[in-house]
Every structure is written in structure tokens, then in C-alpha cells.
Amino acid sequence: MDAEWIREIDPGEILVIDRNGLASQWLSEKAERKACIFEFIYFSRPDSRIFGEKVDKARRKLGKTLSLENPVAADRIISVPDSSNTAALGYAQESGIKFEIGLIRNHYIGRTFIHPVPSMRDFSVRIKFNPVQGVLKNKRVIIVDDSIVRGTTLKLLARMVRQAGASEIHVRISSPPIRFPCYYGMDFPTKEELIANTMTVDETKKFLEVDSLTYLSLEGLLASVPQERGGYCTACFSGDYPIIPDQKIVKLQLENGIVS
């Protein structure tokens, strides 16, 4: 687009661009800055630059830290394309285990975790991904994914990898367990639907039907991203909401389908 990056817009700032140029107005109440850390984990494209850092660089660091915290003997590392590709590369670089493309994604299918009907989510996963048998057969496989919401998508993917001949499956998640819903814009389900809120890590491992499951620690996550003025919002992991959600507003959002 040949656009020039100038700066980010600050909290409470109203940026006005008109025939007279560019000018800022400010809300009278001071706004606290809390950057969404999930941008680094999942939402932003790897070729983006956010919060003063290149997303590709940050995600590679997530994968490297994940490898240091949760090593395991394996023959292959694969990602769940596309959002965990870069973290998987970081894990491979740090561990020395070969990275391969073990799952092929159909890019004409949308995000699966937001489907409200379980049968539709399952069907979407089956037509969205295909395993590469030559990469997986008789191999100890590490699957790197960026996060687990309900767990249903990853369970189907692990089953595909097993059916393709993998002898062992080890799941490594480049974020902490998601235990709390987001009220600020992410389409996370209610607290009761989050698998990390209803199951222990060992119970989740059994649900996924894999040989091991580990997550990146919150400390490892924060150490892998650049220092951010005001800090990061980690509410979906810690339950520490920068702005306590008004339950009346949350109820209204749920009733009107604004959040699920």
C-alpha cells in the first residue's frame, strides 16, 4: 500500500484527520494503556509490527521459550497452520528437532472455534485440514499450537495425526491456559465452555487423546514479548481485568449476541 507508519494512537486519544491535516483531541478522564497480549499470540499477522515489535520475532521467541520450558524427545515438529507456524519454527530452532509441514490447511474455510454448533465445528475441521502421511508415519510428533479454547478442534487434529501413523503425539501450546472470557473484543465463549476452566492439564491431555500436553507459562509469555508501557492485558489467562466488566452490560451483550 506504500503507507508510512507514524505511530500508534494512544488510549483516550481521538485522532482527527481532515483537510487541515492531523490533530489530536483527548478525553478528560485519563485512560490507562493495556496492550492485548493475544495480538502477539494469535490475532496479528506475522508480518505485522505491533507495540514496537515485529510479530514474527515475538512468536519465534514464544516458541523458543516454550521449548526451554517444555522439552520432549521427538522426531518431528509440526504446526497447526497458520497462526502457530512461527512459534513452531522457534520451538524447532531451540530444540534442534526438524520442523515439517504435517498438516495442510484449506484457506477457503473460516475460523472453526467460533462455530456455535459442535457438529459444524467438527465438519469444518475435517474439510479445513489434511494430514501429510509421509511426514507423520512412525514418527514421534510434537504439535505446536498457539492456544486452546474449547479443545474440540485440536482433538480432531490429534486424531488425524494419529490415524496418519504417528507413534507418539506431544502437544505444546505457546500461551498459558485460557481460563477466563474476554469482554473487550475477542470472541471467546463463556467461562464454562473454556476447557482449561473445566479440566486440569492432565484431564485435557486425556480428552485430546495425546501422550503429553504442556503450556507456556505466563511468566515465560511476558518474558518473550517486549516491555510495554502500561503493561499487557492478560485477563484471559489470569482473570486480572484492567477494567472490571459490568455484569449488567455483559448480560445485555450475551442476550444480543454481541459476545458468545
Q: For 16-45, how does the pLDDT look when each residue is reduced to its tens digit (9 = 90+)? A: 999 999 999 988 777 778 999 999 999 999
Q: Quick check: is 114 in a domain?
A: yes
Res 257: pLDDT: 55
In this model, does residue 115 exceed pLDDT 70?
no
Q: How many domains does the chain have?
A: 1
Q: How confident is the model at residue 260 (pLDDT cuts 50, 70, 90)?
A: very low
Res 123: pLDDT: 64
Average the pLDDT over each of 109-118, 167-176, 233-242 and give the range with the smallest value.
Answer: 109-118
Q: Quick check: is 84 in a domain?
A: yes
In this model, does residue 252 exceed pLDDT 80?
no
Q: Quick check: is 28 in a domain?
A: no
Tell me which residue range forms the domain holding 168.
Answer: 35-255
Q: Quick check: is 233 in a domain?
A: yes
Instruction: Read off the C-alpha cell for 107.
Output: 484457506
Q: Quick check: is 4 in a domain?
A: no
Res 114: pLDDT: 47
Q: Quick check: is 242 in a domain?
A: yes
Cα(63)–Cα(82) distance, integer angstroms: 14
Which CATH number goes with the domain that contains 162? 3.40.50.2020
Q: How confident is the model at residue 1 (pLDDT cuts 50, 70, 90)?
A: confident
Average the pLDDT over each of 47-51, 58-62, 115-119 and give the range with the smallest value.
Answer: 115-119
Q: Quick check: is 69 in a domain?
A: yes
Average pLDDT on 165-172 reads 98
Q: Quick check: is 1 in a domain?
A: no
Of 72, 59, 216, which Cα lies nearest the Cα of 141?
Answer: 72
This prediction has a pTM of 0.85
Res 256: pLDDT: 59
